[in-house]
């Protein structure tokens, strides 16, 4: 049984003050929720405050949105895994489509980040997904396979168990368009099959695969109850405590 994992990706939103007030309301909203792992990935500037407020909470885990794979040195503007670990960050989002498209991250760079995350005992959330043009050309499965094989090169089966995959069709991110539950399930089943090819079926059956792309309280339940959908990576709808909590409740056993 895979425990659902629902993560907030706040992107370049939320000041420290907004983070504090979010957490105050959010904690009340999720008081009765059980059976779901919750992750919040704020911007770097709010990580220390959120870490302090969470105080090692088992219920809400701290995530980061990015990091650089080198240990330290002359990398202006970058943040290392050690710096994240010092703040008790547990998960790190790697290879988000915005990092790929805007900041030029390739599968090779993403792979270095996945490997560096594991070397520092951070759990990567590896994002993969096709663009609209790729889907319209019928290439979505091929794109997923390339991104998974590239991003996960050299990752051991043991490390795969500490890796979360987020299937995020680029055309559904921040657009209000959601993949249908059938499209998402199909992509997730394919993702699991690729992972089985990289390791073995027993390992692939344990790897959690999140769906991301305009997840909202209204569509969360159906998506989260597909057989191969093990959680969600939520952008826009995670900025508001109640809507993020409703998505979590849709996947939990409240």
Q: Interface residues with ligand PEP (CB under 6 A)?
A: 9, 168, 173-174, 212-215, 233-237
Cβ proximity to ligand PEP, 37 vs 168, nearer residue? 168
Cβ proximity to ligand PEP, 128 vs 152, nearer residue? 128
**Active-site residue flag, 29:** no
Least Å distance, CB 9 to ligand PEP, is 4
- Closest residue by Cα to residue 107 from 88, 126, 89: 126
Least Å distance, CB 211 to ligand PEP, is 9
Least Å distance, CB 253 to ligand PEP, is 23
CB 250 within 8 A of CB 6: no
Q: How many CB atoms lie within 10 A of CB 47?
A: 25
Q: How many CB atoms lie within 10 A of CB 170?
A: 21
- Closest residue by Cα to residue 210 from 229, 191, 194: 229
Cβ proximity to ligand PEP, 199 vs 229, nearer residue? 229
Least Å distance, CB 125 to ligand PEP, is 9
Q: Which residues contact 133 (CB under 8 A, 6 or more apart)?
A: none
Integer angstrom CA distances of residue 189 from 92, 150, 198? 23, 19, 14
Q: How many CB atoms lie within 10 A of CB 20?
A: 15
Q: Which residues contact 178 (CB under 8 A, 6 or more apart)?
A: 172, 213, 214, 215, 216, 219, 223
CA distance 63 to 201: 28
Cβ proximity to ligand PEP, 148 vs 223, nearer residue? 223
Which member of 96, 98, 134, 246 is catalytic?
96
Least Å distance, CB 216 to ligand PEP, is 8
**In the complex, residue closest to ligand PEP by CB:** 235
**Active-site residue flag, 222:** no
Give the CB-side neighbour count of residue 238, counting CA atoms within 13 A: 25
Q: Where are the beta strands (DSSP E) in the chain?
A: 4-9, 36-41, 60-64, 91-94, 123-128, 164-167, 208-212, 231-234
Cβ proximity to ligand PEP, 36 vs 93, nearer residue? 93
Which member of 37, 130, 168, 246 is catalytic?
168
Residues recognised as catalytic: 96, 168
């Amino acid at each position: 049984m895979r425990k659902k994992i629902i993560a907030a990706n706040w992107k370049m939103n939320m000041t420290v003050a907004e983070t504090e007030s979010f957490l105050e309301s959010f904690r009340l909203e999720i008081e009765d929720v059980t059976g779901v792992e919750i992750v919040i990935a704020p911007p770097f500037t709010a990580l220390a405050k959120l870490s302090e407020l969470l105080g090692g909470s088992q219920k809400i885990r701290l995530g980061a949105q990015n990091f650089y794979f080198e240990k330290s040195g002359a990398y202006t503007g970058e943040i290392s895994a050690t710096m994240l670990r010092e703040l008790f960050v547990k998960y790190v989002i790697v290879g988000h489509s915005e990092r790929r498209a805007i900041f030029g991250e390739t599968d090779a760079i993403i792979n270095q980040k996945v490997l560096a995350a594991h070397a520092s005992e951070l759990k990567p959330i590896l994002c993969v997904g096709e663009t609209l043009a790729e889907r319209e050309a019928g290439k979505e499965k091929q794109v997923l396979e390339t991104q998974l094989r590239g991003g996960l090169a050299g990752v051991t089966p043991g490390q795969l168990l500490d890796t979360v995959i987020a299937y995020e069709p680029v055309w559904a991110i921040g657009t209000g368009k959601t993949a249908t539950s059938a499209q998402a399930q199909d992509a997730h089943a394919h993702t699991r099959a690729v992972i089985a090819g990289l390791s073995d079926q027993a390992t692939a059956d344990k790897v959690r695969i999140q769906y991301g792309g305009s997840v909202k309280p209204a569509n969360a339940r159906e998506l989260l109850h597909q057989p191969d959908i093990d959680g969600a990576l939520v952008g826009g709808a995670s900025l508001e405590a109640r809507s993020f909590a409703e998505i979590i409740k849709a996947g939990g056993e409240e």
